Structure 1
Amino acid sequence: MPPRPVTDLDLPEAMAEAITDFGASLALERGRSDKTVQAYEHDLRQAAEFFAQRGHSDWRRVSRADAAAWAEELSDRKLAASSTARKLSALRMFARYLVHNSVRPDEFTELLAGPKLRRKLPATLTTEEVLRILAAPTGGDEFGLRDRAMLELFYSSGLRVSELCGLTLQQIDLEEGFVRVWGKGSKERVVPVGEAAVSAIKAYLESGRPHFVKTSKTGSQLFLSKRGTAISRKMVWVVVKQHAQRAGVTKPVKPHLLRHSFATHLLGGGADLRAIQEMLGHANIGTTQIYTAVEETRLVEHHAKFHPRKNGDA
């Protein structure tokens, strides 16, 4: 049975007000979404109720021992490690906020350690599997030309699905071989486009896109649906899945898998991690470093499969 939702009425006034102020700062100063703010406030109200039950009516009275007891309480609840880590992360961020706003002089969570999370490695396709998928749209009609151009650009530049769907004609420079993308947080980045993708896009623009254009509906979107509007995320999923099946790839292939494969194959080919970070549009290098683990796993598997002394033979 899930825990009872905690409201401000259940908490000491000073503790509830501090949580509300923290939520406002997340929204106004850091631009966090309403959903994210609500999640932080929910976790903090649960913590505040726990501390109140230990006799505290003000955040200034919460000690390191109280924070450790809260961590132990979460452990006893047998929550998923990710849920426990999220709740403790919210409390740590809140503790820094209290210090920054001179509510208290120290971070009472500074010694608090969360559960170790095993980060799931992203699935990837082999180079051979990707090439089969890219070759799957064989038709010379407008749909075949569009799908081939989309898939080639997807793998060539590692775009997110939303970025691909939102591309306009003005964002892509086929002569210089790059695409200008506005990713998460409206951050602009320039990503190279390979020769195969450039060739496929040119063919689509010349012989495919004109068939999709509807004068009253079509704007400057690069990839269009049969209705003449920008292609949707859902349709991209359908296209990728359809051509993966046509190519005989048995893995569950989603659009993001092409992005993961783009990064992993670049790294395996010797590309610099910072360059891959820039192309993917990751704000933090730590996010990109997951691909080093993927590549290390691949190397271990190859060694185990192909090394002449893999079984200890003389």
Structure 2
Amino acid sequence: MKLDSGDFIRDLERWFKAYMAHIKGLSYSNNTIQLYNRAIEQFIEYSRGFQDEMTIKDVKGAYITGYLAYIDDIAKISGKKSLSGKGLSKSTKQTYLKAIRGFFIFISDNNDDLYTFERYLKNIRIADSSKKEEKMEYLTEEEVGRLLSTLEREKAKKDNYNIYRNALLIKLMLYAGLRISEALKMKIGDFEDIDDKTYRIRLEAKGGKEQFAYIGKNLIEDELEYFKKIAELKKNEPIMITRRGKLLNRQNAFKIVNRIYRQANIFKQGLHLLRHTLAMRLTKRGVDPIRIQKILRHSNINTTLIYARAEERDIIESLENF
């Protein structure tokens, strides 16, 4: 079976289906099958936040420990706490880790590429829950300011298609919560006026279903004006193209955005930072989680509530250091 098609979530779902058929064929108990099913479903849900930056070959030990932190946060939000009140117990995490290990060992044993994950799995250990939790990474308000100032300085220095393209790419993720796969597909015709202040952005979701995101006109008016008037793009022409006229891919977008972070003296990486930043900015302003879920188009409200949990940890740390 082919390991990797280039679509991270589709590959995980394909292997998940094969793995569940495998353990059912081995007559695992119903309880074990249900637990493994739940663990891997949650792993896939966690992975949706990274689907535009990764392939299945990018799954390493640190990614799996990030998943364990994610399910711990989900447990805290949903009230499934251990007796200590600090999330999942060590034994429960070990059971989830066993399910994920089994899943990736199965992939290692059955892919046509002879690719193995076992070297990344063998050294993962569940630490005591008393150890400090890893913080969710996002841009601070100061870093957002530096990032936007860098974009404006670049635009002022040179009338260049790529500079305006990069600025729009970042703003669509930072202000509208677009995923990189969505931002890379943008055309002029996808921006619709709904009033004097707001654009509605038409998106194509999985299965061809139409979705919408929203952004203030004032935030991207310079960029859209450039593409309409200077670059003379037609409504059906893609915006995110290279100098050679090819579509910008997510690997190069990742490199471009990280380079712009460095120019802004931001020592963080990743396209996902921008969606995380929007979610945290909305959370800090007291926006209702249901609205944040709709803005980010999360399928599961628990994914949205992770940001509220992260905000709570920031508040607790601030009081501790007072």
TM-score, normalising length: structure 1: 0.60
1:248–1:208 distance in 2 versus 1, CA, 3 Å? farther
What letter corresponds to residue 140 of structure 2 in structure 1?
T
2:24 partner amino acid: L
Alignment partner, residue 20 of structure 2: 40
Q: How many residues align?
A: 221
For residue 4 of structure 2, what is the aligned residue in structure 1? none
**Aligned AA (2:222):** A
* Amino acid across the alignment from 2:141: T
Change in 2 beyond 3 A, CA 1:43/1:209:
farther
Cα distance in 2 between the residues matched to 1:150 and 1:63: 47
CA distance in 2, matches of 1:267, 1:182: 26
- Aligned residue in 1 for 2:177: 158
Q: What TM-score results when the alignment is normalised by the length of structure 2?
A: 0.58
**Counterpart residue number, 1:204:** 226
Equivalent position SS for 1:296: helix
Alignment gaps of 5+ in structure 2: 1-11, 37-92, 104-125
Unaligned runs of 5+ in 1: 1-31, 52-61, 71-78, 90-114
User: After superposition, where does 1:1-314 map in structure 2 within 5 Å?
Assistant: 33-46=13-26, 48=27, 81-86=95-100, 122-137=136-151, 138-139=154-155, 140-174=159-193, 176-206=198-228, 209-210=231-232, 220-251=237-268, 253-305=269-321, 310=322
- Cα shift at 1:135: 2.3
C-alpha deviation, 1:35, in angstroms? 2.5
Deviations 1:272-293 (A, max 9, x none): 1111111111111111111111
**What's the counterpart of residue 51 of structure 2?**
none
Matched letter for residue 199 of structure 1: E
Deviations, residues 121-162 of structure 1 (Å, cap 9, x unaligned):
531110211221222231332222221122122201111110
1:231: how far off? 1.9
| Kept in 1: contact 2:162–2:242 (CA 8 A) | no
Question: SS where residue 184 of structure 2 aligns?
Answer: helix
- For CA contacts below 8 A with separation 6 or more, give which structure has more relative contact order: 2
**Contact kept? 1:277, 1:285, Cα under 8 Å:** yes
Deviations 1:165-185 (A, max 9, x none): 122222212564221222345
1:82-108: CA deviation from partner (whole Å, max 9, x where unpaired): 43345899xxxxxxxxxxxxxxxxxxx
Contact preservation (8 Å) 1:142, 1:207? no
TM-superposed CA distance for 1:239, in Å, is 1.6
Say which one has the larger Rg: 1
Alignment deviations for residues 217-253 of structure 1 (CA, whole Å, 9 cap, x no partner)? x9521322212232211121122101000001112x2
- Corresponding residue for residue 25 of structure 1: none
- Asked if the contact 2:180/2:271 (under 8 Å) is kept, the reply is yes
